Amino acid sequence: MQQAIPYKSWPLPCIDATSHRARSTTTLGHNGRGKDVLNIVSENAVIVLARKGCCMSHVVRRLLLTLGVNPAVHEIDEEDEAGVLNELGTICKGTENNKMVQLPAVFIGGRLFGGLDKVMATHISGDLIPVLKDAGALWL
């Protein structure tokens, strides 16, 4: 039997000491937003970028948890939002999606997957689990 391989732990740029959230959630500090976002996105098999207290990100997270994936959730403060979205916009220009990145944004395998819409549609069509498996977020 194969052993379950834990996620590679990623260096946290700034941990919010008063955060009550699960361990896998971080809150961005005020220094170096864009680069940290890039790092975090590439270091996690599945990560959800969301505004603080966003109920939609809760929906995404619950759905992924049901499928057996424990996604990292990265919360963005309101003031950092514009900067982060800009940064994401430059990353994603290379891919097919030239649309504005909307929050919550799900990244699978280091690449932008889409928003809640995309996750739902992909799950209903039965394609989400294969995508997650490919990215190494799910094992049998």
Partner 1 sequence: MDFPSTQFVPSRMMGTYEPIHQIGMWGENFKSIGNPSISASVIVEVDNKLENESETASHEMPAPSCKHDQEASKPFDKIQRRLAQNREAARKSRLRKKAYVQQLESSRLKLIQLEKELEQAREQQGLYIGGGLEAGHLGFSGVVNPGIAAFEMEYKHWMQVQNRQLGELRTALNAQISDIELRIVVENGMSHYFELFRMKSTVAKADVFYVMSGTWKTSAERFFSWIGGFRPSELLKVLVAQLDPLTDQQIFEVCNLKQSCQQAEDALSQGMEKLQETVSATLAAGQLGQGTYFPQVAMAMEKLEALVCFVNQADHLRQETLQQMSHILTTRQAARGLLALGEYIQRLQDLSTLWATHPREPA
Return the range that interacts with partner 1 (CB under 8 A); candidates 22-30, 36-44, 61-69, 78-86. 61-69
Sole window of 5-13, 18-26, 28-36, 59-67 interacting with partner 1 (rule: CB under 8 A) = 59-67
Nearer to partner 1, 58 or 111 (CB): 58
Structure-block tokens of residue 117:
């819409």
In whole angstroms, give the CA distance from residue 69 to residue 63: 9
Cα separation of 69 and 84, whole Å? Answer: 25
Q: Which parts of 99-138 interact with partner 1 (CB under 8 A)?
A: 116-117, 120-121, 123-126
Regarding 78 and contact with partner 1 (CB under 8 A), the answer is no
Sign for the CA dihedral angle at 23, 41, 48, 85 comes to positive
Residues contacting residue 76 through CB under 8 Å, at least 6 positions apart: 28, 49, 50, 51, 52, 84, 103
What distance, in Å, lies between the first and last C-alpha atoms of the chain? 11
Contact residue for partner 1 among 56, 83, 111, 131 (CB under 8 A): 56
Of 1, 5, 17, 55, the one binding partner 1 (CB under 8 A) is 55
- Give the interface with partner 1 as residue ranges (CB under 8 A): 53-56, 58-60, 62-63, 66-67, 116-117, 120-121, 123-126
